[in-house]
């Protein structure tokens, strides 16, 4: 019996080749990756956070205090959470905003960063404009904030987002191709043996 001019053995062979060479669906993750983060106060051009850390969940990778403000940056498997908490609103003001740069985003399985998908924002942390994105880094500008006049900010803010990624093209492993060929030869030998019987 044949389907579309392809015998049973040929059909099985085509299915096997398709299964071996088909790319698998998987989400790109950062767990265990070493990520570099720089959070800069655009008023003074000083870095609030500047360092490299290995992504470990549920731990917060970056944490610092500047004056009366406490900043945390938690890099997640597929995104991040940036928070500011202020004990006194005056020194927490940023008339020019802050800029966050994340680099060395080496996703596993290999993927390219396409965009940022904000999932929640509260208080003073809101994006200004569009983020600048490369395949393995992103730079985000946050709007200026003034806690003296922001009565609903509750002395701080939180911004959470996920990364939109695209898997890099899958390249079949040479051993996989060899296994497909050996399997095909085996199926061919089996078909030849049955035809002779």
| Exposed/middle/buried for residue 35 (C-beta within 10 Å: 0-12, 13-18, 19+) | buried
Residues 70-84: tens digit of each pLDDT: 899 999 999 999 998
- CA angle, corner 191, sides to 185 and 192, nearest 5? 85
Q: Is 26 helix (H, G, I), strand (E, B) or coil?
A: coil
Q: What is the mean pLDDT of the chain?
A: 80
Residues 137-168: tens digit of each pLDDT: 999 999 998 766 555 555 778 899 999 999 98
Question: pTM score, two decimals?
Answer: 0.70
Pairing of strands 34-41, 6-7: unpaired
Q: Which domains does the chain have, with CATH numbers?
A: 34-167 (2.60.220)
Residues 29-54: tens digit of each pLDDT: 899 999 999 999 998 999 999 999 99
């Amino acid at each position: 019996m044949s389907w579309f001019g392809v015998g049973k053995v040929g059909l099985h062979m085509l299915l096997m080749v398709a299964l071996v060479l088909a790319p698998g669906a998987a989400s790109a993750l950062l767990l265990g990756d070493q990520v570099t983060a720089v959070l800069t106060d655009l008023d003074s051009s000083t870095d609030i956070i500047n360092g490299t850390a290995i992504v470990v969940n549920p731990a917060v990778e970056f944490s610092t205090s500047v004056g009366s403000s406490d900043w945390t940056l938690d890099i997640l498997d597929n995104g991040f959470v940036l928070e500011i908490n202020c004990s006194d609103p005056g020194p927490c003001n940023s008339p020019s905003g802050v800029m966050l740069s994340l680099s060395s985003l080496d996703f596993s399985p290999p993927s390219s960063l396409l965009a940022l998908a904000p999932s929640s924002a509260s208080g003073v942390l809101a994006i200004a404009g569009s983020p600048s994105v490369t395949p393995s880094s992103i730079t985000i500008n946050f709007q200026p904030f003034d806690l003296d006049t922001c009565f609903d900010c509750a002395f701080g803010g939180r911004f959470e987002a996920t990364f939109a990624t695209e898997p890099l093209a899958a390249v079949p492993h040479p051993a996989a191709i060899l296994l497909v060929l050996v399997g095909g030869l085996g199926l061919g030998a089996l078909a030849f043996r049955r035809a002779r019987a």
